[in-house]
């Protein structure tokens, strides 16, 4: 049987460079069961591409059947690499240009979810230019608040502000990373994640709960401290579990996602209300990443998960080839 030639693109310019490398190692190992031939495409932190042929034939260039982007955050999940792959007419795993861009922009994602009747935390959006003039918005909700760059991953540039002075500092930090800034009402409560796979309709895995070791699940807690605790399955009743799964699939559809995603949630302690927080179109694939672990708990092994994602990508690629782009 002819092997499926898979290109892994990893590394990249975002703060999750090392996480991307570890994810590629996990995927490469899992794909090494005979059905696939894998070729690496490493992107350095300064954006240089370094193809690394791993195919057994020395100097062979058999071409690629499908690409598996494992780039996170900026230039990985924002539609940039997806647009390049579209131009190259290469099928690829994960969301397309539109779904990637919509999901990456927290302000637009929340607007689309709200328009679909899905619960998102109260928030306002301001422009970086306003911050540079010293403008401090009047908040329609009380402190504390979370201040976030609209387009960035890894919790980079996010601050919890507890008063006006803290808000000013938080806005200045966020303005370093994006032209658009989201200010959200601070939710006191619990944090959950839920994996989603494409389908008709999309299907959601059993959710997990995140227990941060710091005041919130920030960059250090995610990638440096290794002290956050994760509980799978999350301690929820049946109704709560099914509500998170329903909302995860609905969010996936609202932002026109494809392939896969991990949706993050907040549950307010005082009211018990569940809010959609973010959607990640290229979740982590390391040995400790929760996207695959949630599916494994739901009965889908890691190799089976990768098979499904590659099949979905190739089906979507075949459907695109049926389209006409001129008269």
Cis link prior to 99 (omega < 30° from 0)? no
Per annotation, catalytic residue among 16, 184, 198, 307: 16
3 state SS of 216:
coil
Per annotation, catalytic residue among 264, 293, 307, 316: 264
User: Is 284 designated active site?
Assistant: yes
User: Is 287 designated active site?
Assistant: no
How far is residue 155 from each of residues 38, 79, 127, measured CA to CA in Å?
Answer: 31, 19, 19
Residue 164 contacts residue 263 (beta carbons within 8 Å): no
Per annotation, catalytic residue among 26, 154, 195, 298: 154
Instruction: Determine whether 40 is exposed, middle or buried from the number of CB atoms within 10 Å of its CB (0-12, 13-18, 19+).
Output: middle
Strands of the sheet with 159-161, listed across from one edge: 123-127, 180-185, 145-149, 159-161
User: Is 278 designated active site?
Assistant: yes
Residues sharing a CB contact under 8 Å with residue 223, sequence separation 6 or more, in sequence order = 16, 18, 19, 154
Per annotation, catalytic residue among 73, 79, 284, 317: 284
User: Is 18 designated active site?
Assistant: no
User: Is 117 designated active site?
Assistant: no
Per annotation, catalytic residue among 151, 195, 277, 280: 280
Per annotation, catalytic residue among 22, 128, 262, 316: 262
User: Is 191 designated active site?
Assistant: no
Residue 65: name the closest of 324, 315, 259 by CA.
315
Instruction: Determine whether 186 is exposed, middle or buried from the number of CB atoms within 10 Å of its CB (0-12, 13-18, 19+).
Output: middle
User: Is 154 designated active site?
Assistant: yes
Per annotation, catalytic residue among 166, 172, 219, 223: 223
User: Is 57 designated active site?
Assistant: no
List the catalytic residues. Answer: 16, 154, 223, 262, 264, 278, 280, 284
């Amino acid at each position: 049987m002819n092997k499926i030639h898979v290109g892994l693109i990893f590394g990249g310019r975002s703060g999750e460079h090392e996480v991307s490398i570890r994810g590629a190692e996990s995927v490469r190992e899992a794909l090494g069961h005979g059905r696939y031939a894998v070729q690496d495409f490493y992107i350095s932190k300064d954006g240089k591409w370094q193809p690394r042929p791993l195919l057994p034939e020395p100097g062979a260039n058999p071409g690629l059947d499908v690409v598996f982007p494992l780039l996170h955050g900026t230039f990985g999940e924002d539609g940039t690499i997806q647009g390049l792959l579209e131009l190259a007419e290469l099928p690829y795993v994960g969301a397309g240009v539109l779904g990637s861009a919509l999901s990456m922009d927290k302000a637009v994602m929340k607007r689309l979810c709200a328009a679909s009747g899905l619960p998102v935390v109260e928030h306002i959006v301001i422009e970086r230019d306003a911050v540079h003039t010293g403008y401090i918005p009047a908040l329609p909700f009380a402190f504390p608040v979370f201040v976030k760059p609209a387009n960035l991953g890894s919790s980079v540039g996010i601050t919890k502000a507890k008063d006006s002075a803290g808000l000013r500092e938080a806005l200045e930090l966020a303005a370093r990373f994006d032209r658009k800034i989201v200010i959200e009402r601070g939710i006191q409560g619990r944090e959950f994640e839920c994996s989603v796979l494409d389908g008709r309709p999309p299907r959601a895995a059993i959710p997990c709960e995140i227990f941060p070791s710091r005041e919130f699940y920030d960059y250090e807690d995610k990638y440096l401290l290794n002290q956050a605790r994760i509980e799978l399955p999350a301690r929820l009743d049946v109704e709560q579990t099914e509500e998170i799964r329903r909302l995860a699939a609905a969010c996936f559809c609202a932002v026109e996602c494809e392939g896969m995603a991990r949706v993050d949630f907040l549950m307010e302690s005082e009211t018990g209300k569940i809010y959609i927080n973010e959607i990640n179109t290229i979740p982590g694939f390391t040995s400790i990443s929760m996207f695959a672990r949630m599916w494994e708990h739901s009965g889908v092994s890691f190799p089976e998960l990768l098979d499904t994602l590659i099949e979905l990508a190739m089906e979507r690629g075949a459907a695109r080839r049926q389209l006409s782009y001129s008269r």
